[in-house]
Each structure stands twice: as C-alpha cells, then as structure tokens.
Amino acid sequence: MSAPIGPPLPLSARQRVGRVLLAPVHAVLWVWYGPLWLRAAFALAVVLGVGGGSYYLAVLRPEQKRKLAITQAWFQFDAAAAVGHEPVALESIATVLELDPGNETALRRKAGIESGNADPADAGMGVLTVRGNLRNNRLPEAEREATKRLAHAPFDWVAHCARATAALARGDRDVGVRFVNQIPAPDHPQTRPDAGGLLTAFRLFREAGRDATPLRVFVRNIFVKDLGSPADLAAPAPFKLQRIECYTEGFDADPDRPPEAGLVSHWAAVSALADRAADESLAAGDVATLAGLGRVGARLSAELFAFRRAGQVTEDQYPALRKELDDRATKVWTAVLERDPTNPDAYHGLALLKWRAGDYAAARDFVARGLAACGDDPQLYAMMATMLRAEDRPQDASAAIWKVAERNPDKLVWWILAAEASVAARRRDLAIAACERGRRASPGNPWLVRTEAGLHLEAGDAHKALELLNSLGEPAVLSEPAAARMYAHALTASGLGILVDDFLAKAEQPAQEEGSKVGSPRTAAAAFRGVLDSEPSADRAAAVADRAGKLLAKWVDHPDLLRVRADALAHAAEVGEPRWQPVRVAAAVKAYELARAKRYADLGSAAALARLRLKGERRPDLALKDIAVVRGSESVEPVPVDALEVLGAVLAANDLDAEAIRVLDKVRRTGRATAGGLAVLALTYHKQGDRAAAEDALKAAGELPLTPRDRPDYLLAARTIRQEKP
Amino acid sequence: MIIRPVAAVALSFALAAGAVGQPKPTVSPEEEKARDLFRAGKFDDALKELEKAGKADAKLPPARVTLADYFYRANQGQAARVQLEQAIAENPRHPAAYLLNGSFAFGEGRLTDTALNCRTALDLAADPRWDPDQRKKFVRDARLGLASVFESRRDWAAAKENLVAVLNEDAKNTNLRTRVASATFHLGFPEQALAEFQAAWKDDPSADLPELRMAALWGAKDDLAKAEEWLKKGVSAHDRDARPARTYAGFLLDSGKADAAKPYLDAAVKLDPKARETIALKGLFARYKKDFPAAEEAFEALAKDYPNDPFAAWNLALVLIESADAGKKRRALDLAESEVRKNQRSAEGFAVLGWCLYKSGRVEEAEKALAAASSPGTVSRDLAYFTARLLTDQGKFGEAKKLLKGAATAKGPFPYRADAEALLAEVEKKAPPDKDEPKK
C-alpha cells in the first residue's frame, strides 16, 4: 500500500455538479444493491413519506385553513357586534356556517339576531339584538335585550337608552324616569356614546324632565373636539347630520344665557360639515337628510343670533355668516321641494327664509302653496296664523285654525294650535274651549292642561286652574317648572295660601338633596315665581326671597334663583309699608345687580332693575343706564311688552319725550299696555302740549283695571291733566 | 248616610229657622215651684202656683196657657190641648193662648191653623189693655209665626214682610237678618240678599259666612254652578277660616271630584284639624280613595268623640267591613246592628246593615235588611249600589241595571261611584235591553 502522495486535487465545478446530480442515483444503487433489510427499510420510508405527505395535503392543510377562516370570521363578528353592525355580523356568521354548517354558536347567534332574542350568557350579542330590536321598533324586546346586555356591560349607553325609551313609550313614566336617571355620565370611560346615542339621550332627558346639563357639557367639552375631523368628513351624510345636531344640543336651553365660549370656535367646522353633507345628499338624492339639514339650519340660525348677542360674533362677521346659513338652507329646501313637492317642511323653511329676508309676499306665497299642496299641515297653519297676526288679523288666524280643528277633531295638534291662535286673538273663551276639545282628543295632555289652567288663572278663576293642575298629579306638577309655577300661583290666589309653604318645600326638595345628580333648583325657582305672580303681601314676598337665598347657598349663582330672589325683594319693597323703603330698595337693587352679572342679556331683569331705580331710588339717570340693553334690543329683536313699558317710563323720566312716546305708543298698539303705562304716555303727551292725545291716553288708562302698581302713575296723570283731586 | 256632614254642611244651614235671640225671661219662684209640682205630677197644685205667679206679674200668660205648654213639652198632647181650650174659653182675647195654639199647629204641620192663630194673636195684640212691652212681644211672636208659615209655603214676599217688621224692632238680630236675606234671595234679589248676609256677618262674626250662605241658597235652587262659584269666593275671601275650604271640599267630593277636593281638604285640616266636620270629611275622602286604614282612623276618632252620631258609626261599619280581619268584620256587624236597634226607622241604618251582612256572606239576611232600607221609598245612591250588587249575584241584571243607572244620575256623595260604574258596565253586558232604549 502506497502512502498518499499529497492532498486530493480540487474538483472542477463540472465535476461537483455531476456528483450532486448523480448522488441520488448512487444512493438508489447503493440501496438496490444493499442488504435486504436496507432495501425493506427504504421501501417503508418511501411509503410512509408519500402517505404522510398526501394526508397532510389532502386533509390537514384544508382543515387548518378552515379553522383559520372561522377564527377570522368570529373576529369580524366580534368587531361588528361591538358596534351593532348587523349585516357584517350576519355575513360573518354565514361564513362560519359555510365552513362549519353545524357550528352551534353560529346557529345560536344567527337565530338570536333573526329573532332579536340573544342567549343571555352570550355577552357579544347584546349590542346587536338591542339595536336590531330598536331598528325594527320592537321596544319591549329591545328593553329585554338591554337588560341582558347591561348584566355584561353595565355602562352600555345604547342599552340604557333602549330601556328608558321602551319604558316611556309604554307609558310607564316612573320606571322610564328611573331608567333615564340611570343613564351613566357621557364621559365615563366605558360609555363612549356616539352622536346618535347622544341625541337619543337628549330626547330622553327632555321627556323625563332630567337636567341635560351633563350631556351639554360633554358636547361642549369633548364631543366638539372631533368635529370636522377626517373621520367626520369621510362619514356618510346622515352621520354628518347627526354630528351637527349634537353640536346644536350643546347650546343652553335658556336663550337669555350667552352661549358657552367654546362653541363659537367650532362654527367653521360645523359649517364645513353641513356644506359637505348638503352636497353629498344632493348628489345622492337623499331627501330625508336634506330635510334634516334644513331643520338643523333653523337651529343654527338661532344660535348664530345668540353668538351675535353675546358679542362672540362681531357685527362685521354676522352678515356673511348669516348669508352662508341662509344660502345653504335655501339650497337644501329647494332641493327637497324639487324631489318631494308635498313636503310641508320645505314650504315652511322657504317661507321662513323669505320672511326673514324681508320678502313677505314670497313668504306668504310659499305658505299658501304649501297649504294647497300638503293639506292640513299644522306647521304651515301655525305659520299662516303667525303671518295673519303680523298683518293684525289675529281673529282671522283663529277662525282659520278653528275650522281645520273642527275638521280634525281627534287630532290634538289642531286643538293646540287653535288654543294658541285664540290666545293671540285675545279670545280666552275660545282658547279654553280649544283646550277642552283637545283634552277630549287626548285626555290629560299636560300642555293643554297647563295652558287651560293658565287661562283660568288669567281670568281670575284660580280654583279651576288648581282643579286642572291637580288632575295632572303632584309628581307631574313638581317635575315641570311651568306647572309648578302655576300651581303655586293658583294656591296663593285661591285662598289656599296655607298650603303654599308645604308646596314650596316639595318643590325645593330635589334641589336640596345632597349629591343629587338629577336635582335642579329650576322647579323651586319656578314655584317661587308662581307665588310672586299672585301679587302677594310684602311678608310673603320676603319669605320667598329668603327661601331663594337659602337655596342659593347650595346652587351658588344660579340665574333663576338670583332673578326670583331679586324680584321678590323688589316686590316686598313696593308693596311693603312704607312703600319703597330705602333699605328694602337697596337690597333689591343689589340682588338685581347680582342676577344681571350672571344673565347679562335678560331684558326682564334689566327692565326690573331700571324700574326699581326709577320708582324706588328716584334715579332716572341710573335707570337709563340699566335699561340700555333693552333700548339697544328694541329695534332689532322682539322685546317683552312689560320691558318696553318700563323703557318708555324711563325715557319719559329722562325727558326723552319723543322716544318715550314712540315706545309707549308701540306698547299701546299691542293691546297689552297697562293703566300705568298709558298714564305715563298721557303725561308725556301733556308735557309736549298735546292735550287731545294726553286726554285720549288717560281715558284709555281709565278703562283698564287699576292695579296697586299702576295706581300712583294713574292718579298723578289724572291730577296733572285733569286737575283731579286724589 | 253621608249627606249629613257634606251636603248638609254645605246646603242646609241657610234654611235653618233662626232661634230669635231674645234674652231669656226671668222665672219667678212661683213658676219654679209650679214646674217642680208639674214634674211631680201635681198638676192642680202647679196650676195654683201659676195663678199665684200671674197675680204677682200681670204680664205673664194665663196660668192654663203655661200649663198647656208644660204638657206639650212633656209630650202629653191631649192634656195640653184640653188645658189650652180651657184657657181660651176663660181668656178668649188673650193673644198668648192663640200663639201657643198656633205653635201646636205648626209642630203638627197645620200651617193654615198656625196662620189663623197668629193673625188672631196679632189682632188681639192691638187691644189697648196690653202695655207696650207685652204688645211688642205678642206682635213679634205672631209675626215670627206667620213668617215661619210663609217660609214653609214659599211665600217669600209675605215671609219677608213679617220678618222685616220684626227686624225693624231688633236690628242687630243676626238670625232674623239671615232669614230676611234668604227670603230676599228667593224673591230674586241675590245682590240684596248678599248685602243682608254681609251685614249679619258684620254684626256677628261667628255667624255663617255670607258666601257660604249664598252657595247654600244656590245649591238649594239646584244651580250648582253658581253654588260652586260662591264656594270658591268663600275660599278666596276667608283664607284663615276652615269652613269655606271644608265646605268646598265636600261639594267637590259630592260632585265626584275627589282629586280636586284634596287641596281644600288639606287646607281645612291645616286650619282646623280637630273640628268634627273636618275629621268626617277626612274619613269620607279616604273612603273615596279606598284608603280604608285612614278612613278607619278618622271614623274611629269621630265615633269615640261622638258616640251618638250615627254618621260616624255607619261609616266606621262600612270601613271595617272592608277589612280582611275577621274581628273587624264582626265589629262592623255589631256596629250596624246596634245602630239599627237605636233607630228602627232609619233607612240608612238598614242599608249599612244590609251591606255588612252581604259582605259577611249572610245574603238572605242582607236581602231583608236592604229591603227594609228601601221600603220608605227613597233609595240613596249607596243603597242602590248595595242592592244592585245583591241583585247581580242573584242574576237579576235588569233590576240591577235600573238601580245603578238611577244612582249614576242622582245627586250627592257616592264613595262607591267607581265600583258602581264598573258593576253597571258588567251588568249592561248581561241585562236584557230596555224597552225604552232606542235601537241602534
């Protein structure tokens, strides 16, 4: 054997490829020519390999893919179920069933969605069944499903709203109110209400009489932040509309309060959203969304006015913004009318726009066309009545609406309109008759009962008012500030003053409850005002002021309480002995100043303070300063008649006779002037040397009831003009 | 059974004959002795004493007239008449004898006799033998008697004439002025009547309030709207007086407006919680509202304070019988039976007993008691309901329907109103149609 000569020579590339290619052949040959056991083992390995591979390819791999697809479908289902997207959820279930026709969960869920009845243990189904039942207006079923859902998710906003909606719809007010009160705070981390959910909650809060301030605060502070976001802009038009509607809900219900400062900064985003929604709806021919945009436009218009009044929109900015709103409204209403010529909202919207633009004839034309096209539409008739009143034809308005009401005796809305029109026509008898007829159509209707009670109060029949309000039941009276006010008035005026303190205590109760979320001092403030409405004694007025003061300790700076306290103190100063005692006057002035600081735009408190300065302090110069807001508003917006009358008296006291005569004459033309106001007018004419006009005004004053408040002015005028002795 | 505290409080007082507020005459020792002797049954000795008294005081009526009065008061009418006839035979020109004769006649409902006697007395009073005081008294009594007769005959002009003649002599007499006011009202001068009521109330603030008097008069005339108007005015004008609030609450309850009555009742309870009428009304209100524990509490208190008041006992029985407690039911029956025993002529007593027996399952006895209650002729609304329930159980739907329909249109309080309406609805389905009913 020879020793190796040296290291083996390196193989060429060709040789290496040849070896690799020949290796299997060598291996086969090696096995083929190998021992038997090797050949047998090899054959077994080949058989097992081929079999296993085939099994994997034919069975295991498709099964794995199917399972993966099912898992993906359930993921998709969960995502859809979380937001209540039923089509996607059903699609996911269909996918599962296609892959696994016997899948029990899928079958159960499918049946649950179809019947609207979910398995109580299936947490994921609640949102779907609640929303599905709501969508199909199956409220009892929605309530049932909501209860199931809340067992798994106690802060689910939609489930809470569904429960409350169902209870209120079936007339179970106590339960409904309880459910509304259980709706969680909108900023709770587990709630996340969307625009639709928020709008539902606003409606429920209104219906249940719950203070919606927490919702409004949420809209102002959190909701508005995302307005105009890319997601918003990409959302379908109906969702955009909901977002805009939510924005308008952020404004305070009290028009005397300035809008929250933050809201104005989102105006541009809202405007852009509305423009996009209008364009998209126009392109899609979506009449419902277009009409919704038209309606929300009217609210935006009111809010723009509030911005201007509060100085948040300048006089320079206002006309352009106004035009933008009106143009959009005209565009959407015209489009609605083109697509649906019998849509009364469109006629109403366009008439309103024309009227505001000063084109009265066109406005009247739209109303007439609307009535011809849509028949007995309450909204159009209401507008027609308003127009007839503006034309100084309130009797015609009343007669027209009565005619339609007689044609539709079972429809409540006509009797409400007939009552309103009769009130405007100063036909209290007809208004009461309309309320009575309306109550036949809808027994116990709170609006009609309150209106009729108010009419009886005006007519001096406090007992009848009390009887009507009693028919509502105490809880209903205490849950509605207007009813509470009338009730307190009726109690005092009917000689049941001994019950007033008990009633006021009940009205104060929700406001006094410690840590109460639903409590509000508005009912108490309204009840206090009801006592003042009955022209009480100085002692009772002082007691009211005291009660309001005590509530203010908890509800610091509450505008209603501040105002009613000031009014009570002023009343006590006026009717107390001696009249206008300086200490009492000073207390009332201070109270008004506090009230005005919180509600600067309240024309009523400005006028009341000015009157106090004039009569109590005998400072016409200060009165003129205080009433400046009324003087400024008089030419641009409707001002309450009593505020105008005070303005006239203040102007006269400051020797601004021409303006005083103009204002007081304006009041006289409304037919709602008091004997005192007419006496001041007479005196001003007398000062101007117009004896005939002075005598005429004095005569008119003499024909009106002479209240203790009017008496001094009337006597002074009579003494001065006719040289009558007191 | 409920009319007394509610409607009666509201409506009847104006018609109450005013006891003329004259000072009580002083009684001489002889007269005292005569009374004692009369009580002892020594009538001749009593007469002698009275004669003695007459000699001492010539202004006293004849002795036999006074003795006749004693007999009459002692419910010995025959003896009284004998004495009076004898007195007239002995003193045919003494007005006192005719006045007493007139009084007897009025008590027995003989108005013409009363008027003739009073006129005779009036004529005889003109005799110059009477001194001014005697004459004044005879004239006054004769005119008051005549006024009572004319009031009963509803001859308001004549009644007023006589009353005014007496009032001119006694201007501060509140009762008289009230009667004058009522007569004036009936003559068709409500404003003048109000002025008279107001003058009477001014003279005597404890008298009934003018507004309530007016309400009662309008109520008696069946003008319930005007009655209600005056009740409202009463409540508004007297906010510190429980009476108007209470009366109006009663009126509203009678009208079936229990909810509307509540604030007025609350005010009355605040102003005068312990008054009998307030407690009665509270109980009645609770019965209307089917608040039986509250009703029981009210009527229990009333029955305790006024054990002889059948109203309290009847209502308590009606409330207790609604209880599930067997002891209370037994007590209700005892109370109802006891009241019937006390007054066998009271239809209301029998009605309450009938209902208590019915509610205890003793139907046959109930039927008898209810039949006894119906026999005097007038059927109260409650009785109609009780009987209708029994008839319905017996399948007599037609009769039940008739009774219930009558109850629905009748006036007065009706705590079973809702039950009666429900029963009527049930019965109407089963009863055969009325012959008078128009075919649909």
Task: Tell which of A491, A496, A531, A534 to mutate to test the B interface (max B CBs under 10 Å).
Answer: A496
Question: What's the CA angle centered on B306, arms B305 and B308, to 5 degrees?
Answer: 150
Going by C-beta distance under 8 Å and a sequence separation of 6 or more, which residues neighbour residue A569? A541, A542, A545, A584, A587, A588, A591
Chain A residue nearest residue B270, CA to CA? A498
Which structure tokens are listed for B184? 């004036």
Whether residue B239 and residue A497 make contact (CB cut-off 8 A), yes or no, is: yes
- Can you tell me the ipTM of this complex? 0.73
Q: Could you report the per-residue pLDDT of A262-309, keeping only the tens digit for each?
A: 889 999 999 999 999 999 999 999 999 999 999 999 889 888 988 887
Q: What is the DSSP letter of A558?
A: -
Q: Which among A470, A495, A498 has the least Cβ separation from residue B237? A: A495
Whether A461 contacts chain B with CB within 8 A = yes
Q: What is the pLDDT of residue A34?
A: 82
Helix residue ranges, H only, B74-155: 77-90, 95-107, 111-125, 132-152
Chain A partners within 8 Å of B266 (Cβ): 496, 499, 502
Nearest CB to A499 within list B248, B259, B263: B263
pLDDT at B269: 95
Q: Binning pLDDT at 50, 70 and 90, where does residue B344 land?
A: confident
CB pairs under 8 A between A and B: 47
pLDDT digits (tens, 9 = 90+) for B131-170: 898 999 999 999 999 999 999 999 999 999 999 999 998 8
Residue type, A321: L
Q: Among all residues of chain B, which has the CA nearest to that of A470?
A: B260
Polymer length in residues for chain A? 726
Mean pLDDT of all residues in A649-664: 95
Query: Looking at the predicted structure, is the pLDDT value of residue A57 above 90?
Result: no
Which whole number is the average pLDDT over A56-72? 89
Torsion angle of the four alpha carbons A562, A565, A567, A568, in this order, in degrees rounded to the nearest 10 = 180
Is the pLDDT at A257 greater than 80, yes or no?
no
Interface contact A499, partner B, CB < 8 A: yes
Of the partner residues B232, B266, B271, the one whose CB lies closest to the CB of residue A463: B232
How much is the pTM?
0.71
pLDDT reported for residue B440: 41
For chain B, how many residues are written? 440
Instruction: Tell me which long-range contacts A425-434 makes (C-beta under 8 A, separation of at least 24).
Output: A425/A394, A425/A395, A425/A397, A425/A398, A426/A394, A426/A671, A427/A395, A427/A398, A428/A455, A428/A458, A428/A459, A430/A398, A430/A402, A431/A455, A432/A456, A434/A402, A434/A405
**How close, in Å, is residue B401 to chain A by CA atoms?**
27
Domain ranges for chain A = 220-340
Q: Which residue has the tokens 């499903």?
A: A145
Q: Which residues of A touch B246 (CB under 8 A)?
A: none
Chain A residues lying within 8 Å of B242, measured CB to CB = none
* Per-residue DSSP letter, B435: S
Name the average pLDDT for chain A.
Answer: 89
Q: How far is B289 from chain A (nearest CA, A)?
A: 14
pLDDT, residue A256, reads 60
**pLDDT tens digits, B180-189:** 999 999 999 9
- Beta-carbon contacts of A172 under 8 Å, excluding residues fewer than 6 positions away, are none
- Report CB contact under 8 Å: B244, A495: yes
pLDDT at A526: 94
**Mean pLDDT of the A370-375 span:** 88
**Structure tokens that stand for A413 in this block:** 């809305």
- pLDDT band of residue A561 (cuts 50, 70, 90) is very high
A144-148 contacts, C-beta under 8 A, 24 or more apart: A144/A117, A145/A116, A145/A117, A145/A118, A148/A118, A148/A120
